[in-house]
Amino acid sequence: MTQRKLKRPPLQYPIIPVYEILKKTAQRLPQKLAIIDPRGARELTFTDLDRESDTLAGAFFSWGVEKGDRLSFFMENGWEYLVGFYAAMKVGAVVSPVNPTFRERKVKHQINDAESKILMVQHTLFPIIERILPELPTLEEIIVIRGPKPEKEKIFALADLLKESSAFPPFPSLRIHPQEDLAALPYSSGTAGLNKGVMITHFNLVANALQSMHAVEVREDDIFISFLPFYHIYGLTYFLCGTVYLGVTQVIMARFEAEECLRLIEKYRASILFSVPPALLAFLSLRHAANYEVSSLRFIWVGAAPLPPAVSREIQENFGVPVGRHYGLSEASPTTHANPPGRIKENSVGIAVSDCQDRIMDWPTGKQEMPVGEPGELAVRGPNVFQGYWKHPEDTRLALREGWLYTGDIAKMDEEGYVYILDRKREMIKFQDTQVAPAELEALLMEHPAVKDCAVVGIPDDQAGEIPKAFIVLREGWTIAPQELMEFVADQVPSYKQIREVALIAEVPKNPSGKILRRVLKRG
């Protein structure tokens, strides 16, 4: 089969520190609203965001923060996240965001592993920090956002710092080397244990902000609803960098709530929704969804986890807008692929973003490129690819080979260059001598009218090695025999892919970005 790969046009990437995208937009659109934060009761123009991050950067400088120092953020989405992020960028610090749902063990691991000097923490989460504070030896100052701050030395309230602009000296213009100096140290999702720091430079972030926004064809007059978590690379790049680069107004949600999201779309006439599959399932489960006016939407983009075609079609029917998949990973800052908005292929994550090369390699050795349509490990390279794992040189060596990032995802590519993600390499089910992709079986099960959500894992079997077992969440009001679901799948796949066991459960365990926690299901 001859391959006629579609290619996006190349882009010009300014070699600048991340904070320069804010400076440029504040000059170009000084009075345009950058942020609407209903929960935080604040609206900031791009000028406001630039000025307040300047003030906080002055505080960082007065505390002795130097280029390369790490700052941890432990908080939900809010206007403070952007002020803190750009303040850090302006003094050359590295932002290491922490998942606000983490408990003491993981919070301690990440702050200590990053050796963070400053912590910004939401006041409701401060008790977690207080319990482990003696075990956080590198922390020097803590900034509490919202609510009262504890009366302790070296703990400050963000509101006080922003009022005291005259108390801080101006910070010097640092010599930041965008292609070498780190801007962000997000941690991998940790679905297989304690997570690792992902080293992303200023250039990686700026490049991928441009690549992502061009690939999904966002415009300056668009309005975003920003509910994807800012601590995750998806939210960090799109909402902390992409919106500011374009001059887009974003309406921030601290956390996702389906009905509140629809209310905000209606109120602010939002035009673009970046989402994840669990959010779309929540919309479909909402009894009052049809009561909201969402005609302002022109596109819904979905990433971070597989999207069953059945869910995509139902969302398109209910919302009356196209639904396109895109794909990425923390190590690529994150976006590597997106469907061209005018040429969406169902079940595909699309073609490579501008200036990103991709290929499918054999998964045992990673040395042989696979023919069109044959599965293998997806590898990519481009200006968005990370510098390596923090303190993990061996893992870096395995992920980065001769400039190519090996994603760990099994995929196939069609003759036009559209990529189809089959599953994580480590999650493939080994049935006798063949590999079975759980996501393929999950997509089939989601076509059954009784199935609200599902997950498939491999469980040990003495004869086959592993067999596929399905965990099913039924739609309200449905009862069905497990055998009927197994037969539904068996009619559509070869024998080695058939579901061998079914369990009915109340909820599929997932991480915040929507990835199924298969290890939890395997433990029973």
pLDDT tens digit string along 252-283?
999 999 999 999 999 999 999 999 888 888 88
Looking at residues 19-35, what average pLDDT do you find? 97
* Mean pLDDT, the chain, integer: 90
Residue 433's pLDDT is what? 61
* E-strand stretches of 236-363: 249-252, 272-275, 299-302, 323-328, 335-338, 351-352, 357-361
Residue 192 pLDDT class (50, 70, 90 cuts): very low
Query: Is residue 131 scored above 80 in pLDDT?
Result: yes
CA distance linking residue 336 with residue 357, whole number of Å: 9
Task: Give pLDDT tens digits for 195-239.
Answer: 899 999 999 999 999 999 999 999 999 999 999 999 999 999 999
| CATH tag, 203-424 | 3.40.50.12780
Q: Are 216 and 302 in contact (CB under 8 A)?
A: no
Of the candidates 422, 306, 303, 345, the one whose C-alpha atom is nearest the C-alpha of residue 6 is: 345
Identify whether the C-beta of residue 309 lies closer than 8 Å to the C-beta of residue 347: yes
3-state secondary structure of 354: coil
Give the per-residue pLDDT at 190: 45
The mean pLDDT value for 79-85 works out to: 98
Contacts made by residues 137-142, CB under 8 angstroms, sequence distance 24+: 137/112, 138/111, 138/112, 139/111, 140/63, 140/64, 141/63, 141/117, 142/118
- One DSSP character per residue, 129-153 reads HHHHGGG-TT--EEEEESSPPPS-T
Asked if residue 369 has pLDDT above 60, the reply is: yes
Share of residues in the chain with pLDDT > 70 (%): 97
Of the candidate CATH numbers 3.30.300.30, 3.40.1110.10, 3.30.420.40, 3.90.1150.10, the domain formed by 428-523 belongs to: 3.30.300.30
What distance in Å separates the CA atoms of residue 449 and residue 470, rounded to the nearest whole number?
A: 16
- Stretch 453-482: mean pLDDT, rounded? 86
pLDDT band at 177 (very low <50, low <70, confident <90, very high): very high
**Class of 19-175 per CATH?**
alpha beta
Q: Is the pLDDT of residue 193 over 60?
A: no
> Residues near 216 by Cβ (< 8 Å), separated by ≥ 6?
272, 299, 301, 324, 326, 338, 341
Residues of the chain with CATH 3.40.50.12780: 203-424
- Report phi then psi at 216, rounded to 5: -95, 5
Enclosing H/E stretch for 468: strand 465-474
Higher-pLDDT residue of 304 and 452 is: 452
Using the structure block, give the residue that is written with the tokens 């904070």: 19
The residue behind tokens 């609803």 is: 225
Cα(109)–Cα(455) distance, rounded to whole angstroms?
29
The sign of the CA dihedral 225, 226, 228, 233 is positive
For the chain, how long is the longest CA-to-CA vector?
74
Indicate if the pLDDT at residue 332 is higher than 60. Answer: yes
What single-letter DSSP state applies at residue 117? S
pLDDT higher than threshold 50 for residue 116? yes
Average pLDDT of the residues in 351-372: 92
- Report whether pLDDT(121) > 50: yes
Mean pLDDT (whole number) for 232-251 = 96
Which whole-number Å values give the CA distances from 454 to 75, 306, 307, 448, 511, in the listed order? 30, 12, 12, 11, 15
User: pLDDT value at position 191?
Assistant: 40
pLDDT tens profile 67-80:
999 999 999 999 99
> Does residue 122 register a pLDDT over 70?
yes
Q: Amino acid letter at 469?
A: K
Higher per-residue confidence, 504 vs 305:
504
Band of pLDDT at residue 291, cut at 50, 70 and 90: confident
| 244 or 460: which leads in pLDDT | 244
Give the SS3 label for residue 49.
Answer: helix
Using CA atoms, how far apart are residues 122 and 56, in angstroms rounded to an integer?
A: 16
pLDDT score of 379 = 96
d(CA 95, CA 111): 11
Residue 432's pLDDT band, with cuts at 50, 70 and 90, is low
> What is the CA angle 441-523-491, rounded to 5?
20
How is the chain split among helix, strand and coil, in percent rounded to 5? 35, 25, 40
Going by DSSP bridges, is the β-strand pair 501-504/419-424 parallel, antiparallel, or unpaired? unpaired
Numbered ranges of CATH 3.30.300.30 in the chain: 428-523
CA distance 215 to 8: 8
The gap between the terminal CA atoms of the chain, to the nearest Å, is 44
Q: What is the CA radius of gyration of the chain?
A: 23
- Cβ atoms of 81 and 240 within 8 Å: the answer is yes
User: Residue 347: its pLDDT value, please?
Assistant: 87
Spatial CA neighbour of 162 closest among 23, 76, 39, 49: 49
Give the per-residue pLDDT at 194.
62
